[in-house]
Amino acid sequence: MSILPKSVSGFTVIPIAYPSSSHFIYARAHAKSKSKTKLNDVLPEGRTLFLVNVPPDATERELTLLFKHCGTVERVLFDFNSADALAENASDSDEEMAEAAVNEKPDTEARPRKKRKLQTSEPTPPEVIPLPSPSLRTLRKTGCCAHLIFLDSSSVAKALSPPASPKPWPSSGEPRGLSHYMAKYDNERPPLDAVKAHADSFMERFEFDLSKSKQEAKYRKGEAIMDEDGFTLVTRGGAYGQTVGGGVGVASKKFMLTGQTGSRRKKDKKKEKDVFYAFQKAEKQRKALLDLKKNFEADKQRVEKLKETRRFKPY
C-alpha cells in the first residue's frame, strides 16, 4: 500500500473513511485578502480553516462533528459567496444597531411630551399553513469548498496537524443515498389533506390582502384621480372616455369623426313566420321541388336551342 503525502501544494491531506470507500479533504489556513477589506470581517484571519474537496452531501453538523476534537466551530460556510456573506453580516450589524437603539434611554427632559394617539386594533392577517417539509441534506457539486470559523486560533493549528489514521465520517440523522431520494420523492408529493389546508389558508390570506389593498387604494367612487402634476387620469371606453374613479369624460375618436354617440343597432322588426303548421312546411317543400323541375326543363330547352344554332361549345 502506497504511503499518502502529508501535504500537497500547501494543503494538509485529511483522509476520510466511509464504510465501503475512502475520501480525501485538503485543508489550509485562510489567507487574508488585500483587496476585499469587508470580506476579512466575515472570515477572520487566524480562526478560519479553508477546506477543498468536501463531500457533496456534507452538512454543517457533520463538519462540526468531524473537527470537534480541534475546538468549538463557530460557523460553517459552504461554497463561500462574498455577496451572501456580506449581506448576512450587514443584517447582523443592523440587528445590533436596532438592539442598541432599543436599549438607549429616551431623553424625556429635552423633548416635549406629545399626546399619544389611540391605537386602533387592526385585524391580524391569517397565517398560511405550510406544506410538510422534512429536513433534507443539500447536495452540492463535486469538489466543493467550505470555510470553518473556529472560536479560537489554536483550533486551526490542531486541525492542520496531519492525522495518523483516516478519520471516520460522522453520521447525522438526515437520510443519505437512496433514502435521501426516496424522502425527497415523498416530500414533493404531500398528502391531499395537507395540500387542501395549505390552499385554503393561502386563499384566505390572499383575500385579506386584497381587501386591505382596496381600503388603502386612492380610488373612491365618484371622485376623479389626479396625478402628481394635477392632471385627471382618463381611460377610453364606449362613446366617451371615462376618468378613473368617475367624473368628467372625454370624447372618443369615433364621436369626433361621425358625431354618433353610440354604436347601438336598431332592433329589427319581428317577421311573421311563413311556416307554422306541418302541412305548410310540406307544401313549401313540394313547391320548391316543382320549381326545381321547372327550371331544369327550361335549362334543357335552352341547351337544345344552343345545339341547333351550334353555339354550344362544351370544350
54-95 pLDDT, tens digit each: 998 888 888 999 998 888 898 898 876 544 554 555 555 555
Cα 198 from Cα 203, distance rounded (Å): 9
Q: Which of 25, 33, 30, 31 lies closest to 7, judged by CA?
A: 25
Confidence band, pLDDT 50/70/90 cuts, at residue 225: low
Q: Which of 248, 243, 249, 251 lies closest to 218, judged by CA?
A: 243
Predicted pLDDT at 47: 87
Pair 51, 147: CB distance under 8 Å: yes
Predicted pLDDT at 44: 84
Burial pattern 256-278, b for ≥16 Cβ within 10 A else e, equals eeeeeeeeeeeeeeeeeeeeeee
Q: Which three cell numbers stand for residue 251?
A: 370624447
- CA-CA-CA-CA torsion sign (9, 12, 18, 22): positive
The three-class DSSP label of residue 22 is: strand
Predicted pLDDT at 82: 46
Which amino acid makes up residue 164?
A
Pair 49, 157: CB distance under 8 Å: no
- φ, ψ of residue 63 to 5 degrees: the values are -70, -35
Confidence band, pLDDT 50/70/90 cuts, at residue 20: confident
Predicted pLDDT at 207: 92
Pair 131, 198: CB distance under 8 Å: yes
> Residue 112: pLDDT above 70?
no
Report the DSSP beta bridge partners of residue 192: none
> Residue 261: pLDDT above 70?
no
DSSP 26-43: EEEEPPPPSS-HHHHHHS
What tens digit of pLDDT does each residue of 128-179 get? 999 888 778 888 888 889 998 998 888 888 888 888 888 898 887 788 888 8
CA 310 from centroid of its chain's CA atoms: 83
Would you give the DSSP letter of residue 162? P
Q: Which three cell numbers stand for residue 96?
A: 445590533
- Tell me the CA distances in angstroms from 307 to 51, 128, 208, 228, 298, one per residue in order: 106, 90, 87, 87, 14
Cα 276 from Cα 289, distance rounded (Å): 20
